[in-house]
Amino acid sequence: MTTLSAGANSTSSGRALPSPPPAEHASGQRKLDLLWAGVAILLPALLVSVAPVSTVDLAYGIRAGALVLDGAGIPRVDTFTFTAAGLPWVDQQWLAQVIFAAAFRAGGWPALATLWVVIVASIQALLWRASRSMGADARSTGVALLLGFVVAAQGIGLRAQVLGLLCLAGLLALVADRRRHPGRLWLAVPLMAVWANLHGSFPIGLVLLGLAAVEDVAARRRARIPIAVVIAAVLATLANPFGFDAWRYVAAIGTEPTIARFVVEWRHTSPFDLAGAAFYASVAAVVALVAVRSPRPGRPPLTTLAWLAGLAFLGAWAVRAIAWWGVGAAPVAAALLAGVLAWRAGSESGGNLRVTGPEPGRRAGPGRAGIAFVAALAILAVAVQPAWRPSPDGGGIGSRLVDAPAGIARAVDEATAAHPAARVFNAQRWGSWLELATPGALVFADSRVELIPASVWSDYILVSEGDARWREILDSWQVDVVVVALADQPALASLVQGDAGWRASYQDADGLVAVRSTP
17-23 LR contacts (CB < 8 Å, sep 24+):
none
335 pLDDT tier (thresholds 50, 70, 90): very high
Q: What is the pLDDT of residue 23?
A: 57
Residue 287, pLDDT above cutoff 50: yes
**Half-sphere CA count of 337, side-chain side, radius 13 A:** 22
Q: Give dist(CA 363, CA 355) in Å, integer.
A: 17
Q: What is the pLDDT of residue 378?
A: 58
pLDDT tens by residue, 90-133: 999 999 999 999 999 998 888 888 899 899 999 999 999 999 99
Q: What letter would DSSP give residue 505?
A: E
Q: What is the pLDDT of residue 87?
A: 96
Q: Which residues pair with 54 in a beta bridge?
A: 402
Q: Which residues pair with 513 in a beta bridge?
A: 483, 506
Q: Give dist(CA 323, CA 155) in Å, integer.
A: 5
Beta pairing, strands 53-54 & 401-402:
parallel
Comparing CA positions, the residue from 43, 496, 390, 454 lying closest to residue 259 is 454
Handedness of CA 97, 102, 108, 114 (dihedral sign): negative
Residue 249, pLDDT above cutoff 80: yes
For the chain, state the CA radius of gyration.
26
Q: What is the pLDDT of residue 28?
A: 64
**88 three-state secondary structure:** strand
Q: How far is CA 361 from CA 8, 60, 131, 357, 364, in A?
A: 17, 49, 17, 11, 9
Region at 230 (left for phi over 0; alpha for psi -120 to 50; beta for the rest): alpha
Averaged pLDDT for residues 132-154: 94
Question: CA-based diameter of the chain, in Å?
Answer: 92
pLDDT tens by residue, 211-221: 999 999 988 77
